[in-house]
Amino acid sequence: MASKACCTIPPVVSEDDFKCSGTFSTLDGMRTYVTGNTNSKTGVLVIYDIFGLDFPQTQQGVDIIASSTPTLVVVPDLFLGKPMDIKNYPPDTPEKQSALGAFFGGPANPTKNVDTVRGLVPKLKAAYPSVERWALVGYCWGGKIVTLLSAGDEFVAAAQIHPAMLDPADAEKLKIPNFCLASKDEDATATEKFKEAIEKNEAIKDKSKVMRWDGTFHGFMAARANLKDQQNLEYYHKGYKALVHWLKEVFLYNYTAIGLLLSISVLCRALFLLPLIGPSRLHIAIGDFVKWTQTILLLQHASPSRIMMVWIVCVHEAPKTSVAYTIMILAWSLSEVAEGLARLFKVFRPLIRLKVVLDQLARVAELMEVALAMPEAGWKLGVVAGSHVPELWDWYQDTIRKRND
């Protein structure tokens, strides 16, 4: 499965409490924020909004991307330390409008900055030679730059967050998968036409996603975010969770037929043996096979919590012989098979909905297994159990939000 880790991000803190986890370096003469795994085979180039590099809301978002994925994230200061003064926003006076217009015509000129970023590509490859594939993420103005760059072949995926200057004509030129998350302040008609254009783009439509959230505002995931406001905080968290999930699905993990075959093998063994030996002896028959299968799948996409389950929790007698173990194994395997078929064959795409249900069933079974192991293993397993609670709570909150959005 893409795993619950795909939908799990670190806790979001207010801008006052945030401390960046990355470092600043220089790239082609530009001050650059770098965070994540510098030895990764994948990298994300982030194009900030017009307010620049130094807002903690933006830096925290970048850190979330890096800490929630195994990738490197790089944010060059394209404005060379002279971004737009946030005091000029919103542009509700002639003076502010003039300042904003001059900025977009000068330092923020889209064509100029597209050329600048293209010129950075060889510098990125030289600075981080282990990175084989680069993706793009752009906020607001940066979303426009990302969209224009997506008509080329320098990058393999691109995401635009509450994008400025959203143009359906750009969608027709896209050559790489695109994630577009618009707010209530982006033009609804333009967003819908952008989505329609992507759906007609055969090259990218299956891996692209366009959403519009009417409950939040332009800038809610970058410099204009107010993380002291509960509603903004919730949408900020929800937005980064959606972005990280998409990046993992489309850019970071390549689901292969090997993962599908391994999962089918576990499922077939379990279904064949259950009528013969019953749930209490299933672990004896397939426990080692499941343990190594999940370890192999971790190299592709599986959740680290599963590794804790098979290597730490399910070595104790009570969880090994419980019905919860059988439920967990069946839910894991069915979820993997559903996702594998959906990814590899278009006709099985609807199975993704079944996978969501199976993942929640698996989490419940995992918690039951932990509870059974705790009398024998001690309080340390509480850490494993505790890691599931936020995920279940997030799932519940997302369900409520989907009804409201």
pLDDT one-digit tens code per residue, 344-397: 776 887 887 888 899 889 989 998 998 888 887 665 555 555 555 555 555 555
244 & 268 share domain: no
What is the C-alpha to C-alpha distance for residues 264 and 258, in angstroms, rounded to an integer? 10
Element (DSSP H or E) covering residue 31: strand 30-36
Q: Which residues contact 72 (CB under 8 A, 6 or more apart)?
A: 34, 35, 36, 37, 38, 40, 42, 43, 44, 66, 128, 131
Number of domains comprising the chain: 2
270 & 396 share domain: yes
46 & 104 share domain: yes
CATH number at residue 122: 3.40.50.1820
169 & 261 share domain: no
Residue where one domain finishes, among candidates 252, 270, 288: 252
Residue matched to tokens 């391994």: 262
Domain that holds residue 330: 257-404
pLDDT < 70 stretches in the chain: 1-17, 252-256, 298-304, 346, 377-405
Confidence (pTM): 0.70
Residue where one domain finishes, among candidates 252, 280, 298: 252
Query: How does pLDDT run across 184-225, given as a tens digit for each residue?
Result: 999 999 999 999 999 999 889 888 999 999 999 999 999 999
Closest to 304 (Cα-Cα) out of 375, 397, 391: 391
261 & 243 share domain: no
User: Strand runs (DSSP E) across 140-235, as ranges?
Assistant: 157-161, 178-183, 209-213
What is the C-alpha to C-alpha distance for residues 178 and 283, in angstroms, rounded to an integer? 43
23 & 77 share domain: yes
187 & 269 share domain: no
136 & 229 share domain: yes
Residue where one domain finishes, among candidates 224, 252, 280: 252
198 & 90 share domain: yes
233 & 266 share domain: no
347 & 201 share domain: no
